[in-house]
Amino acid sequence: MVRRQGAKGLNFGRRRKKVNIPLLKEIGTWIVEILIVLLIAYVLVYFAGMRITVVGQSMNPTLESGQQILVNRFTYKLTDPDPNDVIVFLPNGNEKSHYYVKRVIAGPGDTVQIKSGAIYVNGELFDDAVDAAAIKEAGIAEEEILVGEDEYFVLGDNRNNSEDSRYDNIGNVKKEYIVGKAWFIVSPFRDMGRVE
């Protein structure tokens, strides 16, 4: 009796398929590149990608109502706000409020007073980064104010149309309520650029 070799059964004589090494390398490269792009995107969104809309005219001429700006949320984790920085904060930490955008005038340990429409920090005329109008309403800054530890005295650039540290309902802004530094206008396109 003769057994025929059929198609079925084990065939140890088959050739093994070769692994395409260049293709695997290319796929690996693509996976690494995609992961790097995702990491960069995450870092940008987390640290600098917060986008808010300016509400009201209190920062004219620097910022206008309706403009959208990017907020750098990372910078104040490393450093403190400086005078003339434009910051974004929640008034009194109220998370139900819209974000406020104002300019830092004085920091911890400084004294602030508004006399004859001008701002004085530590008894000296404040070196303002904007050409703002004389202040008509000094509010609580009519008397000298001592800025507390981890607090900042802020004003809007439109000094006569701004709800800011001159008023009791805002007062000095605690550092913990500061979201970050306003740094870039993204919309509308014609206004795109750095916030100075």
Please confirm, yes or no, whether 102 is among the known catalytic residues.
Answer: yes
Q: Is the distance from CB of 106 to CB of 165 less than 8 angstroms?
A: no
Q: Residue written as tokens 């014609």?
A: 190
| Radius of gyration of the CA atoms of the chain, in A | 30
Could you tell me the CA-to-CA distances from 196 to 59, 62, 95, 129, 187 in Å, in that order? 11, 7, 26, 8, 16
| Torsion of Cα atoms, 177 then 59 then 191 then 72, to 10° | -20
Burial of residue 165 (number of CB atoms within 10 Å: 0-12, 13-18, 19+): buried
Could you tell me the CA-to-CA distances from 175 to 6, 89, 93, 153, 178 in Å, in that order? 83, 9, 10, 11, 5
Catalytic pick among 8, 25, 58, 96: 58
Q: Is the distance from CB of 183 to CB of 174 less than 8 angstroms?
A: no
Catalytic pick among 17, 96, 97, 102: 102
**Sign of the dihedral defined by the CA atoms of residues 139, 121, 91, 66, in that order:** positive
Active site residues: 58, 102
